Structure formats: structure tokens, C-alpha cells
Amino acid sequence: MRVKLKLALVILAAVIVPIVTVNIFSSVHIKNISVELNMQNTDNIISSQAESINYYFEDISSAAKEFVSLEDVRTYVMESNEEGFVISKDIAEYSSVFATLRGMTDLDSSLSKIMIINNSGMIVASSDENDVGKRMTKHSGLFESATNGNGISSFSMSGEKDNNIPSFSYAKAIYSHNNELLGIVYEMYNTAHLQRIINNAQIDKYTTVAVMDSTGGILEYPYKTVKNYTEHDSYGKAAEYIRGLLDTADEREQEETSFSYGKKAQRRTVFNKRISSCGWTVLAISNVQSLENSFNSRKSAIMNLAIILIVLASVGTFVFIHYFSKPMDEIIRILQKKQRGDTAVQFNISSSDEFKQIGRAFNTAFDEIFESEQRYNTIVEITNNIVFEVNFKKNTVTVSKSFNKKFSYRPKDDSVKESFLYNLYVHKDDKDRYLADIDRIFGSANFIQGEYRVKSIYGDFIWIMIKATKFFNREEIPTKIVGVIMDIDKEKKSEMHLIQKASYDALTRLYNRETFLKSLAEEIEMSSIKKTLDAMMFIDLDDFKFFNDEYGHACGDEVLKFTADTLKELCFERGFAGRFGGDEFVVCLTNLTLYGDSGKVAQELIDTLGKGFISESTGIKLTIHCSVGIAFLRESGKTTEEVIAAADEAMYNIKKHGKSAYAYAKSAQSSTDAVLDEVDEIDMLR
């Protein structure tokens, strides 16, 4: 059978068979399945509504619990139960209680009023101060609900005649620290928030949603009144079922249930979901017959659409086969010749449609590939860089001839493990990193780039850069790795020399001023983030001018070098040091345990310099004295200027009072003294 006929049959089968199958299936099952899915969706939605209302009542309970636990509230209610309590007097003393009540009503628009009622039924506090001093009738029922029930009342109508709205209340018991009942908090809520939750239900137009309280009161759009389910037009017909829900409300498990009633033409289904926190129930009534009629009309529309699609698909298939499949044979013929290595063959399609464009694109692509291969081979041969290729299918590595000009190892086009990739003589400090990078490109990585030191043909180590990229086929399977090895020895060594020259003081080999300031700024930022204890020391050599004037500048340089060497030893694994200028030095101490640790380092520096050294230029022993100012990074400022200024000021205070000592910056002095006293006390106990 010809490909054209096969293609036509496949296309028609792929289009017509699914359409016919779907329509046959839908004609039998679509109505039942759609109604069932709609019912399931309704059940899921009211479950979500019940959960949202449950969260709402949990928030009410949580806020009330937090309020009754306030010490001012407990104390005020306890005193209100005492004989001789006077409301007018105690309102002023406990104004915070009244302010809290008013604040709670301001924050929650659904909270109409909140009151505190003591054990005698007297309203001792309220968000509406006009209620204070009045007695609640039937307050015993509220106390019973607050102590033995969930505290949630049934729906009731509240407000003025023209503004009578559905509402409910919540009561929460107030206990003393001895678990004695002191009174209750009584909150009156309108149903605005409940209405918003109900209205959020995205259900079809044939289904209505309502909330039923524990006594059977129904809250339903348009929310102007509350009716008992027995008086409701829709829910009254399912009265027996709803009565069963109310009678077994405390025993039922939290599960989704439904109940259908009525004849076929007026068939209804009632869904319910219990709200665990308050004993209420979310109800929904769905008009099943209307849903079925709606789905029947949709089914007819789908069948008509299916017939139209089948006709269009059939016509379109034959048009496609007739007009667009002829150039396919020519394309296949040319591609077969290209695969056999005939690079001169060209596509020559006579049609003027996209196939001709495809043929031209193939011709251009093949020409460019041929030129690219020639260009690639030429570049590989003449470039100073070394190009290598790993063939995953053959498990071989090929490398350009320029490899032999650089390295003592002579590569072979051999297996991967025996190739130069695993036999280069890499510097011991770079070898682990090099092998890790090679393993990565053979593993999960698609690209690597690294700089390493390897032994050259002359026996010394030179810097090279290796870049390698992995290539994949259409199935995303790796086929090869192409890489390049570049000699960067001159550039790398020049860069390292410039970095070292730019970062260090020429005489002392410590950080110069700019490098130290940059490092200090980074340390200040890290100290602020990690909350570590870090300090900076500002050091000035006492009477340094004496060495230059008495023994010459060569001697002065020796003093500066000895000071720098001492700082290097003291700062090893403790921080970093720098020459700030002239005879001024700076040190940053990091990750200190105690404030006093910085003072110990300063004293160690003073003692070491005080022991002196033998000068080569004079032949005599010279002793050095210095003054040290200490500032803690997070306490002395947020910038390098502020921290250095603090340490500098502390150092000059030493200069004014005898020299050859250390002092802390003012901002850290009190903390340091306290910690040092604590350390001394611990040492004495030991």
C-alpha cells in the first residue's frame, strides 16, 4: 500500500475514530457522568465552605481566648465580683480593658458589640459604654454555653426595626489562675462575614447554598431574615432528613452526605457538611432535573459539532494528500544521496510552495555545513590553542597536533581513561579540582571551565584554561564533548603580580590602606548579618621619629618591618592587618569569644614590641612602644569611617595619658568592663 493512502487512512482514522467513539460514549454516559460530577463538585464546594466557616469560628475563639487571658481583664472581672464594687470608679482604673474592647470591634466589622459579664449577670465592661452597669437577663444560659458548650448561639434577628439583620453571639468563660469562674466575654456578631463566605461558592445556577444553625435556623440569600427549616419552601420538603441531621449532630462523623427527594420532574438533592467548631451545618439544594436538561442540550450540540468535524477532516485529508505530498519523494531521494556522501547533489523542487523553500534551506544548510567543516579543520590546525573531542559512541578522545608543542606527554587517539584527560601532569594543588571538573563533564555537567597548572614540555608548571561543552542528539543523549586548552600562563602570572602589587604595602607586605578598608567594610557587613564579635585595633608607634632622627631611615624601616612581622604572627587565623600610613597600623580581629580577647591581643602586641630586636643597620637592640585603640565593629559604627574614627580616638586618649597601653572606644567601654569583671570572677572561683 502506498504511503499516500496509508497517510490518508491514518489521518482519517486519527480524526474520525475518536470523534465517533466520544459521541457514542457521550450519548450513553455524558448525562449521568456530568450530573454525578456536578454533584461531586457541589459536595466539594460546600465542604470548602464548611471549612472556611470553621476557620472563621476558630479565629473568633482564638481572639476571645487571647482576650480573656489578659491579666487586666482577669483582675477587673475578679474585682467586679467583690462586694461594694463601683462601676463608675473602676472604669478609669481599667480604661485599657475598655480600650481593648473598642479596638476589637474596630478591627472586625462583623463584631457588633463585645461585653464582659460578671458572675452576677452585670455588664461590667462593653464596647458600648451605655451598656455598663446593666444586668443581662437569662445570663445563666450564656454561662452554661460558655462553660459546657462551644459558646456559639443560634441565629437571631437584631437591630432596629428598619435595620433588623441576622446575627449570632459567642460566649467565652473567664477563669482565674485558680481555675475559678469569674465571668464571661459575650460577643455579638452580624452575619456579614458569613454571607461573604456563602457568596464565594462558585456553584451552578441550579444550586443554592445556606447555613443552618444547631436549632434548625436557615441563613440564605438574600439574608434579610432567618427561617426555621420547617418553614422554608425548599428545605421543609426534606424536613425529616434535616431533623435527623440535627438529632445526630453530636454523633455523626465528619463525612460528606447527600439526600435526594421529589418526583422526576421536581427531583432535588440536599447536600450537607457539618461545621465541627460550632455544630452548624452548610446545606445546598440542587435541582437535578434542570441539570439533566442542561446537559442534554449540550450533548446535542456536541454531536452536531462532531459531524461537522468529520466532514471537514475528510475533505482536508484528501486535499493535503493531493497537493502537498508530491515533493516528499524528491526530498527523500536527495537525503538518501547526502547520506551516502554525495556532497554535490542539490534539491531541485519545481513547486512554488513551502517545499521549495525547504529545499533551498536544505541546500544552504548543507553548503554551510561543508564550509564549516573545512573552516573548523583549518582553525584547529593553525591555532595555538589545543582542540580535543570526546566521542561517546566510540569511547575515544582525539586531540589537535599542537598538543605536542606544549606538553611532555604525547597523546593518543585512545580510550577515554587512557587519554591525556586522565594523564596530564597537573600540579598537586590543582589536581583534585581538575579531576573533579573532568568527572563533572563526563557526568551531569553540560559545560566546564577551569584554570590549572600543568607541567610543560620544558618541565616547569604553566597556567592553562580548559573549556569543554557537551553535545546531545535529539533524544537528549550525550554524543560528544568538544573542548579547547588555552595557554594563559603569561596573563595569569601578570594578573597575580598586579593583584599582589596593588593590594600590599611594598615595605611591610601588609595590606595597604585601600585593601584594608575594603576588607574591613566587608567584615562590618558580615558582622552585622552573623552577629559575631569583631574588633578593630588602631596602632601608633610611640616616638617613631626618634629612630629616623637618631639612626637614619634604614633603621626606621627595620622598626616598621619588625612591627609588621609581629602583627602577622598575632593575626594568624585571628583576622588581618594593614599599614594605614607612616607609623600607623590597623588590625581587624574576627570571631572573638569575649570582649576581653581583643585587649589580650593588644597587650601581647605591646609586650612583644617592648622586648625589642637587634637592628642590622645599627647593631644595637631597639625596643618599640606603641599605643593601641580598640573599637568593636557592631558597637562603634556602621561604616569603616565610624569604626576607624572610634578606634583612633581611643588610641589618642592613650597618647594623652602616658602612651604604651591600650584603651577601648567609648561605645564599647561599658560592655567590655562588665564582661572583664565577669571573667575575673569566674577565674577567682576556679
Closest Cα to residue 441, out of 484, 379, 489? 484
Strand order across the 396-399 sheet:
396-399, 386-391, 478-487, 461-472, 447-455
- 503 Cβ partners below 8 Å, 6+ apart? 511, 512, 515
Q: What residues contact residue 354 under an 8 Å CB cut-off, 6+ apart?
A: none
Q: In sequence order, what DSSP letters do the residues of 146-181 get, joined into one string?
A: HHHS-SB---EEES-GGG-EEEEEEEEEEE-TT--E
Same domain (yes/no): 275, 422: no
Three-state secondary structure readout of 387-439: EEEEECCCCEEEECHHHHHCCCCCCCCCEHHHCHHHCCCECHHHHHHHHHHHH
pLDDT for 38 equals 76
* pLDDT at residue number 561: 96
Per-residue pLDDT, 472:
92
What does the pLDDT read at residue 681? 39
* 407 and 515 both lie in a single domain: no
Residues 154 and 204 in one domain: no
Q: How high is the pLDDT of residue 674?
A: 43
Reported as a pLDDT band with limits 50, 70 and 90, residue 348 is confident
Q: Which residue has the higher pLDDT, 240 or 656?
A: 656
pLDDT of res. 109: 87
Number of domains observed in the structure of the chain: 5
Across 155-164, 262-271, 437-446, 559-568, the highest mean pLDDT is recorded for 559-568
Residue 115, in any domain of the structure: yes
From 176, 191, 206, the end of a domain falls on 191
Domain-ending residue, one of 191, 221, 242: 191
Residues 519 and 577 sit within 8 Å (Cβ to Cβ): no
- Whether 670 shows a pLDDT value over 60: the answer reads no
Q: Which domain holds residue 340?
A: 331-376
pLDDT at 682 over 50: no
At 436 the pLDDT is 92
> Is residue 318, in this structure, part of any structural domain at all?
no
Residue 618 lies in a domain: yes
Q: What is the pLDDT at residue 557?
A: 95
What would the pLDDT profile of 51-92 be if each residue is shown by its tens digit? 999 999 999 999 999 998 998 889 888 888 888 787 765 565
- The predicted structure's pLDDT at residue 552: 93
What nine digits make up the cell of 590? 574576627
CATH number at residue 258: 3.30.450.20
State whether 145 and 73 are in the same domain: yes
Examine the domain organization and report whether 364 and 422 are in the same domain. no
pLDDT at position 678: 38
Q: Mapping DSSP to helix (H, G, I), strand (E, B) and coil, where does residue 114 land?
A: strand
Provide the pLDDT for residue 393: 86
Q: Model-level pTM greater than 0.85?
A: no
CATH code of the domain covering residue 510: 3.30.70.270
Residue 603 lies in a domain: yes
Do 261 and 397 fall into the same domain? Answer: no
Backbone angles phi, psi at 208, to 5 degrees: -120, 150
Shared domain for 388 and 412, answered yes or no, is yes
Percentage, residues of the chain above pLDDT 70: 78
Task: Output phi, psi for 179, to 5 deg.
Answer: 65, 35
Please check whether residue 157 is in contact with residue 165, taking contact to mean a CB–CB distance below 8 angstroms.
yes
Cβ contacts of 412-421, under 8 Å, gap ≥ 24? 416/390, 416/442, 420/388, 421/388, 421/390, 421/397
Q: C-alpha cell of 544?
A: 617613631
Residues 450, 542 share a domain: no
38 within a domain of the structure (yes/no):
no
Work out the pLDDT band at 249, boundaries 50, 70, 90: low
Mean pLDDT of 205-218: 85
Does residue 146 register a pLDDT over 90? no
Q: Last residue of some domain: 191, 215, 246?
A: 191
Give per-residue pLDDT as tens, 182-203.
899 999 999 889 888 888 876 7
Q: Are residues 558 and 418 in the same domain?
A: no
**Cross-strand pairs, 480:** 391, 471
Top mean pLDDT of 10-14, 366-370, 548-552 is at: 548-552
Distance CA 364, CA 591 (A): 66
Any domain includes 146: yes
One domain for residues 541 and 403 = no
Asked whether residue 535 is assigned to any structural domain, the reply reads: yes
Asked if 205 and 352 sit in the same domain, the reply is: no
Look at residue 204 in the predicted model and tell me its pLDDT: 74
Beta carbons of 90 and 133 less than 8 angstroms apart: no
Looking at residue 499, what is its pLDDT? 62
What residue type is assigned to position 112 of the chain? S
Q: What is the mean pLDDT of residues 164-191?
A: 90
Band the pLDDT of 400: cuts 50, 70, 90. confident
Instruction: Please indicate, yes or no, if residue 510 is contained in any of the structural domains.
Output: yes
Please indicate, yes or no, whether residues 654 and 627 belong to a single structural domain of this protein.
yes
Q: CA 54 to CA 66: how far, in whole Å?
A: 18
Burial class of residue 325, CB neighbours in 10 A (0-12, 13-18, 19+) = middle
- What is the Cβ-side half-sphere exposure of residue 552, based on CA atoms within 13 angstroms? 6
